[in-house]
A = this chain, B = another copy of it.
Amino acid sequence: MYQTLEKFLKGKTNIDQETLTKICSFFKLIKTKRNELLLNYDQVSNHYYFINKGCIRLFTTSKEGVENSRYFAFEGNFATALPSFIDQQPAEEYLQTIEKSELLCISRKDFYYLVDTEPLFAKIYTEILELGFIMAQKRIYGFQGFDALDKVKWIIKYQPQLLLKVSNKMVASYLGMSPSTLSRIKSKL
């Protein structure tokens, strides 16, 4: 149950088995269905999820009701609505498993307890923040000045798994274009 998580933690820092076991003991296994909502727009994020199996999507909807995908996290990664988790304001975004998934879930209280009492876990948290920051910047700023074709090429180069695992519709909403535009571009290469 905790192998993937332990592997993830070991990959980030040198950590003994005892601490590892202690950290893992705070995570509870939950199973979710396809399209199950983990967090609603108005809710405050109070859980951090580690994905054992499946996929979590972070998205919003525009005032016209169009969905806008922000992030997809797959097996072996952490995901939550981090801004809300940090500042405890309503998330203004949704968290959802887009397929049947198995998640390890830790409450915010326990998470910060670990951050405050386990220096190694604090270090891992800092690394998660740093990495999250870098990735978000690269992803979003990377698209500045890109036209639709550039974006599709970018996704093929840097996140080809997305095209395999996620519906066209969601990829399109991730890239900020309509499904028809994505469809047209793919047919031209």
User: What is the interface of chain A, defined by CB distance below 8 A to chain B?
Assistant: 60, 62, 64, 66, 68, 70, 82-83, 86-87, 93, 125-126, 129-130, 132-134, 136-138, 140-141, 144-145, 176
Contact = CB atoms under 8 A, between A and B. Distances in A.
Nearest to A70: B141
B62 A145 contact: yes
Interface centre among A68, A70, A144 (most CB of B within 10 A): A144
Given A62-B145, A83-B138, 13 more contacts: A60-B141, A68-B144, A68-B145, A70-B141, A70-B144, A82-B137, A83-B133, A86-B134, A93-B141, A126-B126, A133-B136, A136-B140, A144-B176
A129 B140 contact: no
Contacts of A60: 141, 144
Given A141-B60, A141-B70, A129 B133 contact: yes
A123 to B, nearest CB: 10
A74 to B, nearest CB: 20
20 contacts: A60-B141, A60-B144, A62-B145, A64-B145, A66-B145, A68-B144, A82-B133, A82-B137, A83-B138, A86-B130, A87-B134, A93-B141, A125-B126, A126-B126, A129-B129, A129-B130, A129-B133, A132-B133, A136-B136, A136-B140
Contact of A137 (B136, B145, B176): B136
A116 to B, nearest CB: 10
